Amino acid sequence: MTYFNRRKFLQGLATSSFLLASGERAFAAATHTMPPAIATPDFNPDIELELNAVIGEIRALPCNATRIWRYTCRVLRANAGAIHAAIRKISNKKIIYAINTGGQDHRWFGNDYFRRLGVKIVATESAAKDMQNRSFEQVERIKPLLGEKFTGTELVYPDITFALRMTLPVKGISIELIYTGGAHTPGDLLVWLPQSSVVFTGDTVFTERMLGIQPDSAGRWIKSLEYLRDSLKPRVVVPGHGKVTDMNQALRDSYDYLVFLRSAVTKRLADGAFDPVEASQNLDQSRFSYLQNYEDLGLRSRNALAVAEEVFKLPQK
């Protein structure tokens, strides 16, 4: 059985890497024996500027629980030290890897701190390229939000990159990094623990909140979710935004929304809509009104337009 006991233990600006600690059966820190327990996804979803870190435990191997950390949202070098201090309250094991699950600012702006500790930063080749291409844009966007808190943050790119798949050399547990073509950003990856059937999705999965669709991302995002559904078939999904969940909710809140928009704008274009703007205007998205941020009309409109523009550029059948 899979055990989760999630609690928010750090408020503030956090790095959004996965941190892996050295040692047998270690994913982020120490392991210890624990009786079976039912999954209890009880931590709050992270909203764009709700800055937090969460800790939990996963029964990755029989009779052993593995502590994990998932850090999300905005990152500052200074606050990465607070994360490190929190880890040290639980384990003194050396941190050996930090995985950037994508190229968005909150997935890699804490790299500098961990690089100074000798931690190896890992990402896909596509994510590293995305970081380099958009770093100036990301810094200019985040500085007004954070002000002086951004001081001291230095941009550090990954040490290790891979094209499609990589297995981390951690003794006693298989940790596979899988690139499926990108999702929310071009370099998004999946962190797959096959022994426990747990996947950390980064921004490939949003739950409980409406996702934000960037230009030319819907098609690759849908394909990545289909790979997750058809090939990995995980029992437990740790999304980039939202509570620990299963594939049913992951698909309902992310995949179904993407497919709905693609189908709706495709039909409108086939019925004679002049351009992407006309194809995307006033779409009834109320089926997804249960999601946080649904009330943001601008977000819904931008999502529909982004998908319509992508479909409009496809060759006509």
Give all domains of the chain, ordered by start, each with its CATH number.
Answer: 7-312 (3.60.15.10)
**Which of 8-12, 73-77, 163-167, 265-269 is least confident?**
8-12
30, pLDDT greater than 70: no
Predicted TM-score of the model (pTM): 0.78
3-class secondary structure for the chain?
CCCCCCEEEEECCCCCEEEEECCCCCCCCCEECCCCCCCCCCCCCCCCCCCEEEEEEEEEECCEEEEEEEEECCCCHHHHHHHHHHHHCCCCCCEEEEEECCCCHHHCCCHHHHHHCCCEEEEEHHHHHHHHHHHHHHHHHHHHHHHHHHCCCCCCCCCEEECCEEEECCCCCCEEEEECCCCCCCCCEEEEECCCCEEEEEEEEECCECCCCCCCCHHHHHHHHHHHHHHHCCCEEEEEECCCECHHHHHHHHHHHHHHHHHHHHHHHHCCCCCHHHHHCCCCCHHHCCCECCCCHHHHHHHHHHHHHHHHCCCCC
What pLDDT, in 10s, does the model give residues 115-147? 999 999 999 999 999 999 999 999 998 888 878
What pLDDT, in 10s, does the model give residues 198-208? 999 999 999 99
What pLDDT, in 10s, does the model give residues 267-291? 999 999 999 999 999 999 999 999 9
